[in-house]
Structure 1
Amino acid sequence: MIETWEGKTFQGLLNDFEPACKRLLQLSQERGILDGKTALTMKAVIAIYQRLVKNVYTLHEDKEIEFIKEIIQEKSMILTQHSITAKNRISQNAKALMRDGMTVLIHGHSSVVMHTLIKAVQRGIKFDVVVTQSLNHLGQNVKKILENHKIPTKVIQDSAIALVMPKVDCIFVGCEAVVENGGIINKIGTFTLALVAQTFQKPFYVFTESLKFMKEFPLKQDDALRLASNGNEVDIENILIDYTPPEYITLLFTSIGIFTPSAVSDELIEFFSG
């Protein structure tokens, strides 16, 4: 949109840009391109891009609109490249976690978690994975992918996590969004998993791209549900996500580094106030 926009003022660009972002979010939901996820990740990416556009203008407001458009496009390419290489950086950051003989419990189909596990086995590390069955037999799909990469994988019922927890070394999850206090919003069942992990004193690790950082501060589960449903009434028979508070998270492995929840909170505050 930026490249083809033909207006003359930055305010005009903003006036057209905001509705375009809303339309993109709407289309992503209507056309099912979110792969069964909520719109939270798309919201986070849009918010970061909006901030990028406004920051460019703040730095170059005395310049012509065509110059500003060129800078925005250059920054957009950097952002896109960051997204493309994020999984490799995260798996590199997590190298020290992986060791021979360990058993990892995972929940959901996080592409970042899967990439990290596959990269580890490609380095010659031998380990086992336990995956929760989850909705729509997602666990079976994950098992098939991992076993294609020679990773021994077992699927368990979600209700069996307390029985299995003593047998695993750690938990890996992805997320749909990292919120301002260092907590995460992710697939339903993540918070339950974190509660059980803490009971058994098992480390709970989150793997996520920094593009999923979100300037929101849910205080309770209902806040996260409303955020994911665009403020609409939540049907308790069709809940897709839950909120895991920061005190249940050991570390977050992101595309810009490894953080404790409190440190990622500081990073978020600095990012969105900068």
Structure 2
Amino acid sequence: MDELLKNAGSVEIGFWLLEKMEEDKYILDKISHLKKEMGVIKWIKKMVQNGYTIKEIKKILKSSFNSTISYAQKFLNFDARVVTISNSKTLEVYFKTHPKNLEIVVPVSNPGGEGKILYDKLKSTCNVKLINDFEVEKYIKDADYIVTGADSVCENGVINKIGSKTLAILSKYYDKPFFVIADKTKFFDSKIENKIFELIPFKLITAIISGEI
């Protein structure tokens, strides 16, 4: 469990949590305490409080997830050079199933090396390159767009892995679009209590791409 909570993206943790809730009624409170930055966990808690069954919540989460990826692929339906960061189930599926040719660049994403995890998931099926974190500027200069996932979409910005704000600032500097792909289950105000997360202000984000819930 510790390894999954450390390395998995928020949607992945959400699906895992729903499976575990069927056998451990206290696990939602445990994970809520450990992962205060993750909007999807707050969403699950709210759905439970509103009387939805675990089966119903799973169905809605899966539908929202698939809808968001489909919408993002339609919105960004062209060949592109792309820079991303960290490990995200949303981006993993987005890249693997994208109908166009993408050249994907992923920094290692230290501390934690989550970018290496995403790279390993993509390397057999996608055109993906792993780079050192300090190299990211030269790839942003040549990118068509930069894209990240999100742990939460809050009132004043998007919470994601540290390093995301740097990508957003560089994107603004080089006049490159910066997109966030996040399904509606992540639209919850959250607190940053872990130093590996940071807030990306809305003024640095070109658009948040989200599907139906």
TM range (shorter): 0.7 to 0.9
The offset of 1:26, in angstroms, is 2.2
Identify which of 155, 159, 172 aligns with 1:185.
159
Question: Of the two structures, which has the highest relative contact order with CA contacts closer than 8 Å and spacing of 6 or more?
Answer: 2
Matched to 1:252, the amino acid is I
- Specify the alignment match of 2:9 in structure 1: none
- Specify the alignment match of 2:28 in structure 1: 24
Matched to 1:39, the amino acid is K
Q: Deviations over 1:107-129 (max 9, x none)?
A: 01111111111111xx3x22210
Instruction: Indicate conservation of the 8 Å contact 1:107/1:173, yes or no.
Output: yes
Identify which of 84, 92, 101 aligns with 1:126.
101
- Specify the alignment match of 1:269 in structure 2: none
Identify which of 135, 142, 145 aligns with 2:121.
145
Q: Would you say 1:246 and 2:202 are equivalent positions? A: yes
Identify which of 42, 45, 55 aligns with 2:43.
45
Identify which of 57, 66, 78 aligns with 1:99.
78
The offset of 1:156, in angstroms, is 1.6
* Structure 1 residues not aligned, in runs of 5+: 1-19, 31-37, 54-71, 217-226, 258-274
Matched to 2:63, the amino acid is T
The offset of 1:166, in angstroms, is 1.2
Aligned counterparts, 1:194-273, within 5 A: 194-215=168-189, 227-229=191-193, 239-256=195-212
| In 1, Cα distance between equivalents of 2:27 and 2:94 | 33
| In 1, Cα distance between equivalents of 2:172 and 2:25 | 39
Instruction: Indicate conservation of the 8 Å contact 2:44/2:57, yes or no.
Output: no
The offset of 1:78, in angstroms, is 3.9
The offset of 1:138, in angstroms, is 2.7
| In 2, Cα distance between equivalents of 1:95 and 1:185 | 22
SS of residue in 1 equivalent to 2:181: strand
Moved over 3 A (4+): 20-23, 27-30, 76-79
Task: Describe the shift of the 1:185–1:132 C-alpha distance in structure 2 as closer, same or farther (beyond 3 A).
Answer: same
The offset of 1:130, in angstroms, is 0.3
| In 2, Cα distance between equivalents of 1:27 and 1:144 | 26
Instruction: Indicate conservation of the 8 Å contact 2:153/2:186, yes or no.
Output: yes
The offset of 1:85, in angstroms, is 2.3
Instruction: Indicate conservation of the 8 Å contact 2:72/2:210, yes or no.
Output: no
Matched to 1:180, the amino acid is E
Instruction: Indicate conservation of the 8 Å contact 1:25/1:43, yes or no.
Output: no
Query: What percentage of aligned pairs have identical amino acids?
Result: 22
Instruction: Indicate conservation of the 8 Å contact 2:182/2:209, yes or no.
Output: yes
Instruction: Indicate conservation of the 8 Å contact 1:39/1:228, yes or no.
Output: yes
- Specify the alignment match of 2:17 in structure 1: none
Q: Deviations over 1:111-152 (max 9, x none)?
A: 1111111111xx3x2221000111233323222221211x11
- Specify the alignment match of 1:173 in structure 2: 148
Higher helix proportion (structure 1 or 2): 1
| In 1, Cα distance between equivalents of 2:65 and 2:46 | 18
| In 1, Cα distance between equivalents of 2:44 and 2:70 | 27
- Specify the alignment match of 1:162 in structure 2: 137
* Structure 2 residues not aligned, in runs of 5+: 1-23
Task: Describe the shift of the 1:191–1:211 C-alpha distance in structure 2 as closer, same or farther (beyond 3 A).
Answer: same
Larger Rg: 1
Matched to 2:59, the amino acid is Q
- Specify the alignment match of 2:16 in structure 1: none
SS of residue in 1 equivalent to 2:147: strand
| In 2, Cα distance between equivalents of 1:187 and 1:28 | 18
Higher strand proportion (structure 1 or 2): 2
